[in-house]
Homo-oligomer: A and B are copies of this chain.
């Protein structure tokens, strides 16, 4: 019994050390961090009863991350409008980029997954765990510490704002490229045009082999097509 206790203590100490290495934060409530780094697949495999996974923490962390990045961009770009801020934020906190950061800070090594579970090999596990970690830090240490962690460990070292701003995401070309590679037929159609005040709003439809898969709207034909293409990429799960 005493031996087991010591063993557990040693395991905890190693985990606390690992968290500190990755975050520069010394955890108080270690359970929160353990939970943050436990993927559903692991819970399913290892327990019989109902057990918490990191998905609730991910929900919380996602919103804290969004708020901190919003403030960061708000102050960084005092002359840019909210459309710009929204776009740049989504380039920072999208699934792919969160996955990349999670790997870079070594979080992937700490995430407990069920290796045999096919679903658990989805790419988004590490990004999700990163969001859950943000949630855990917030509950454990409060807003100020979390904000510092997000800015100093996740944003500033991993994003070059200049590059971020000057990259244009072209969803339409991405979709067309994908279709060519898959030998599928993609076309765009403007299916609606509506006068809204002094501006015209367009709705574009994306057709995959003549079947509608997404629509999107915007205040120019180009923007409507981009929006529809973006949704089509999501619907087709193309990253």
Contact = CB atoms under 8 A, between A and B. Distances in A.
Nearest to A82: B59
A167 B113 CA distance: 36
A151 interface: no
Nearest to A64: B67
Chain A interface category by residue count: 35 or more
Interface stretch (A11-19, A94-102, A104-112, A207-215): A207-215
Copies of this chain, how many? 2
Nearest to A54: B82
Interface in A45-96: 55-56, 58-60, 62-64, 66-67, 70-71, 74, 80-82, 85-86
B82 A58 contact: yes
A205 interface: yes
Interface of A: 55-56, 58-60, 62-64, 66-67, 70-71, 74, 80-82, 85-86, 118-119, 135, 138, 143-144, 191, 197, 203, 205, 211-215, 217, 235
